[in-house]
Chain A
Amino acid sequence: VIWMTQSPSLLSASTGDRVTISCRMSQGISSYLAWYQQKPGKAPDLLIYGASTLQSGVPSRFSGSGSGTDFTLTISSLQSEDFATYYCQQYSGFPRTFGQGTKVEIK
Chain B
Amino acid sequence: EVQLLESGGDLVQPGGSLRLSCAASGFTFSSYAMSWVRQAPGKGLEWVSTISHSSADTHYADSVEGRFTISRDNSKNTLYLQMNSLRAEDTALYYCAKDLSPGVVIIMFDNWGQGTLVTVSS
Contacts and interface: CB of A to CB of B under 8 A. Distances in A.
A39 interface: no
A69 B45 CA distance: 20
Contact of A96 (B47, B95, B100, B110): B47
Given A87-B45, A96-B47, A98-B46, A49 B112 contact: no
B47 A100 contact: no
A49 B108 contact: yes
Nearest to A56: B110
B113 interface: yes
Nearest to A6: B44
Interface residues of A, number: 22
A99 B47 CA distance: 11
Interface in B27-55: 44-47, 50
A49 B61 CA distance: 22
A19 B115 CA distance: 29
A44 B45 contact: yes
A44 B115 CA distance: 11
Interface of A: 32, 34, 36, 38, 42-46, 49, 55, 87, 89, 91, 94-101
Interface of B: 44-47, 50, 59, 61-62, 95, 100, 106-110, 112-115
Given A91-B107, A96-B107, 18 more contacts: A32-B108, A43-B112, A43-B114, A43-B115, A44-B45, A44-B109, A44-B112, A46-B100, A89-B47, A95-B61, A95-B62, A96-B47, A96-B108, A97-B47, A98-B45, A98-B46, A99-B44, A101-B45
